[in-house]
Every structure is written in C-alpha cells, then in structure tokens.
Structure 1
C-alpha cells in the first residue's frame, strides 16, 4: 500500500476481498466415489454450502463453487469442489486462487487423513503431505507458502489392507453412524478458522473433550 492509498476511500469490494476464504473440499468426481473415505473433504464442502444456503454451480475454473457469508458482515466463504481427480487437485486450486485474487494464506483445504483417528478433526498449516496425493499436488501448484489444512480423521486400515484400497472404499456401517457428527465438526473447524484464526481454532478442536 502506497502513501496515497492511506487516504483513498475504502471500497466495499476491498473489505469483501480482505475477508474472503477459499475452502476446497478434496475428493474424486463421480457418483461411484461419492461415499468413499477419500471424498470426506467434499462431504464437508456440501455441509458448508448447505449452511450458507448456497448451491454449487459450474465455474470458469475447473471446479464447482458455492459462495456465501457466514453471517452479515462476517467472512465470505468460496467453497469449491474441483472437477479433477484427487491426484490433480493442484491445477483447479491454483486457478481458483488466481480467479479470486487470493493469497495462499487464505486457502483452507479439507481432506481425509490416515494419520488422524476416525471421528477426529485436526488443524494445521503447511507440513508434509504424508503421502496424500491431493495435498502433494496442491503444494506443488501453489508453491507460495503454507496453506491451512482441516484434516478429517479416517484412521488406518485394519490388518494388512492397503491404504490406497482403504481410502477408496465407502465408510463402514458403524462409521456411517458417526459420520454426520464428524462432517459437522469439520465444517465447524472451517468456520472457526475463517472467523477466529487458526490458533484459536486449534485450541478449540485440539483440546481434550
């Protein structure tokens, strides 16, 4: 911001841009993947859109987008579900950031996490991808600093089941009973980051029950 900008009247659009968050729910497109553990990020995106009273629509970027405000005068959420497969999530995310002129620190990615127990939500900024191909591809495509991650715990596969097979299976019957609460908690975590910041959200969601 230059010296003269200090005296420039603030436009409504400026305030909106400063308080906008891009929230991306990761998953794979197609009905055959909709119930997979790997698609829990998109399930959370659906919950957020429902809370905003918004509908996902086709977008100029390769994604479907729903937009709305958490409350009057509050943060605006641009909730997106990439049309690409998980392994190539980086392109759509990068395009969305450019379209909305948002820095990477305004990006919240919601994704499944093997290293977090099922029915648990954990928040972090940056860090290694841990073998998650969606996070790996987004990190490569943005390459501009760490972004916030809402890690939705799905736990490790039982026995010797391959992790790649595990994440592409639907949640078990027992898991499905707890799934609505898990999705709700993850959506709450996104809203907390947008409203109160990462540290405050971590204190809330990482504290013992």
Structure 2
C-alpha cells in the first residue's frame, strides 16, 4: 500500500497558488486513477483506489500547510505503513517552475509543511517529489510569494511539471523509486 500526500492549504483563497502545487498533483492523480478524493478522515480529504496491483490512498491534508504533519502522522499510524511507501508532493522555491526533483529522504529545509511532517513522524526517511515554483524576485516576502498565483508565462512549464510528477509517482509505485528518480530528475 502507498500513501500519496499532496501539500497545500484548503479553501478557494489558496487555490492555484504556488504553495498548493501538491494539491494540484493529487487532483491529477485522482483523475488519472479515477479516485474520488472527497472522504474526510484523518484531518484530510482522502480517496482510496488502485494503481496496478497496489492499493493507494491519495491525501490532501486540511490542517493548513504548517500543521500538515498532524494529518500525515495520523494516517501513517492508522495504516501502519512503512515510511518508504509514503510519498509527499510539495512546492520548492529552489527549483525553477517546470522542474521536479524526487528524493528518497531529506530535511524539510525552509518548507514549514515538510518540517511539520518530519517532526510529527520523527523521521525524514520517506520519499518526496519536489515541484519547482522558482524563487521570489526583488526581495519579495517569501510568505507572500508562495501564496501568489503563477503568471500566464509559467502555465505551460507548470503543467509539464504536474504531468511529470504524476508519471514519476506512477513509476515509483509500479516499478520503483530509483527508476522514477533516474527518469524524472533529469527533466
């Protein structure tokens, strides 16, 4: 079984913002696998389905970004999964729009959602897909930047990164994480 978590903030106010790219990827995965992500459980919207022979739970925490760990830890404990079968998808300012990076483990860096998850799980040893949102320009406040929307010029690259994220998650589940990293970290 795999638990796939996309990070974001609930509510229309945050829809299509840089900080919600994890939610966007979960929405695409839900569409790809015909999984309805609407059940409220574990402080999250969840949906259950299958990818090949694997049971998959898609998750959008409703705790707001900075408390994402509460929801993720609750789900992981409930299903008693190995952390190698948890994949977290989130925004990364250190990658340009259009780029993704898959890692087996790592720190939360400056990302409060990831720091919350690592703290609540007591481990940073779980896979993640980082989706590039670029850095703020001209001294723009980081919080304002991540809560801003993408420009029209970024839309094509952004969509490609979402599609590559979906393909990478699919590859990790159907094959393995190393193959997904080899295929999609170069793009």
Shorter-chain TM-score above 0.5: yes
Corresponding position: 1:26 with 2:29 = no
Shift of 1:180: 2.1
Corresponding position: 1:70 with 2:51 = yes
Shift of 1:145: 5.0
Q: CA RMSD in A?
A: 1.3
CA 1:145–1:136: 2 relative to 1, 3 Å = closer
Q: Which has the larger radius of gyration?
A: 1
Partner in structure 1 of residue 120 of structure 2:
141
Corresponding position: 1:126 with 2:126 = no
Partner in structure 2 of residue 53 of structure 1:
34
The one-character-per-residue Cα deviations of 1:42-94 (angstroms, maximum 9, x if unpaired) are: 000000011111111223311111121123xx222210001110000001001
Aligned length: 187
Partner in structure 1 of residue 177 of structure 2:
198
Residue ranges of structure 1 left out of the alignment (5+ in a row): 1-19
The question of whether the paired residues in 2 share the 8 Å contact of 1:104 and 1:142 is answered with no
Shift of 1:192: 1.3
The one-character-per-residue Cα deviations of 1:118-168 (angstroms, maximum 9, x if unpaired) are: 101110122121100000000000014511010001111122212221110
CA 1:172–1:145: 2 relative to 1, 3 Å = closer
The question of whether the paired residues in 2 share the 8 Å contact of 1:115 and 1:156 is answered with yes
Alignment of 1:1-209 (within 5 A): 20-71=1-52, 74-207=53-186
Residue ranges of structure 2 left out of the alignment (5+ in a row): none
